[in-house]
Amino acid sequence: MHNELVTKRSPIVLMWKFAAIEAAGLILYFVASFLGDAKYEIYSQLFLTNILPYMTARVIFLFFAQFVMTVYAFLSWYTEEYKIRTNSIIHVKGFFKKQSTSFGKNKSAQVIIKSSVLGKLLHYGTIQIRSNGAYFYLKQISHPERMLNAIEEGPLAVAFAAGPDVRDLLQGEEGGELEFKSSLRFDYKLGNVNRELEKAAMKTVAAFLNSNGGHLVLGVSDKHEPLGLQNDYSGLQRKDRDGFENHFTQSFNASIGPEFRNFVKLWFYPAGVHEICVIQTLPSPRPVYFKADGNEYFFMRTGNITSTLKLSEIESYLRSRWPKR
């Protein structure tokens, strides 16, 4: 879910816990060595005396104790996480009983990173947040600088922090998360604007939103040859990339809905003498319905095809795609 970013404490923390377990075991071993024969006398009172020799029982006990402590340390680290949302951060921990602590933040929150010399070398540290006079800490997390932008600007800012690699996209094949179209709405066969092409592009974006996200590359032929966007630009009132994006947004809002626009970003790239557009789409946190001709349709990606589901199929897909809905 891209409106929620999840991070964990650094694996270095887990390594320190394992080291502490080894140190604790060593201390217990030395403490036990001072007990002398008392250890055997205690063991002789147990029912295991006739089943296991003393030395065997001691080895099994030490192994089991260390195993339990190691499993506990791992599970306590594995189940602890911080969920960064737009207006709050939730700290979740505990594997027998989940405990959640929520901290509300606003745009005026003060965020700083605290890191030791070792933390800087191993890329972990603590993020301190001060909001409304209260403090909250994301303790010893990996790469805290990467979380800083998510905390200050929101999780979506991180998802769109860097644009897609257009060279990799142009070398890829159409599939569940990639599709090429020669234009947004210019029909090369007819030589004029065809709004059915625009509708097809929006259906693809809606399908990406309802699936795992993806990239729609505009201005590229089926053979991955750049055709450019000039024909699309020429049909707009403002004949440049800003006019193109404004028109896309208007069409998107009308057919999909403005509440989902934050999950879509347009990137423009030069390709030789041409300019192409990559529409990056994130998975939507809730179902998206495509609106056209007074009706609503539900689209999803199946392989390299945008498919519409029947009413009898939608509910089943919704339960599998958004199980917590």
3-state secondary structure of 129: strand
| Residue 308 pLDDT exceeds 60 | yes
Q: How far apart are CA 213 and CA 181, in angstroms?
A: 17
**Percent of the chain predicted with pLDDT > 90:** 48
Q: Where residue 44 falls among pLDDT bands split at 50, 70, 90?
A: low
pLDDT in tens, 74-127: 998 999 999 887 778 899 998 888 898 988 877 677 889 998 998 888 889 999
Tokens of 312: 């009898």
| Residue 176 pLDDT exceeds 90 | yes
Q: How far apart are CA 230 and CA 241, in angstroms?
A: 10
| Residue 188 pLDDT exceeds 60 | yes
pLDDT of residue 239: 93
Query: Nearest 5°: phi and psi at 140?
Result: 50, 55
pLDDT in tens, 257-296: 999 998 999 999 998 889 999 999 999 989 999 999 899 9
pLDDT of residue 224: 86
Calculate mean pLDDT across residues 200-216: 96
**Percent of the chain predicted with pLDDT > 70:** 87
pLDDT of residue 49: 60
- The sign of the torsion formed by the CA atoms of 7, 10, 13, 18 equals positive
Strand order in the sheet with 264-271: 178-181, 214-218, 274-281, 264-271
Mean pLDDT rounded to a whole number for the chain: 86
| Residue 57 pLDDT exceeds 50 | yes
Beta bridge partners of 215: 178, 280
Residues 6 or more apart from 186 whose CB is under 8 A from it?
192, 193, 194, 197, 231, 232, 235
Q: Which amino acid type is present at position 259? A: E
Q: Where residue 6 falls among pLDDT bands split at 50, 70, 90?
A: confident
pLDDT in tens, 19-43: 888 888 788 777 766 666 666 566 6
3-state secondary structure of 49: helix
Question: Which of 23-32, 179-188, 205-214, 235-244 is predicted with the least confidence, judged by mean pLDDT?
Answer: 23-32
| Residue 2 pLDDT exceeds 60 | no
pLDDT of residue 1: 47
User: What is each CA distance from 152 to 106, 114, 117, 133, in whole angstroms?
Assistant: 9, 16, 25, 17
User: What is each CA distance from 306 to 101, 120, 178, 295, 300, in whole angstroms?
Assistant: 41, 46, 11, 18, 6
DSSP sequence for 5-21: EEE-B-HHHHHHHHHHH
Greater model confidence, 51 or 266: 266
Calculate mean pLDDT across residues 234-241: 93
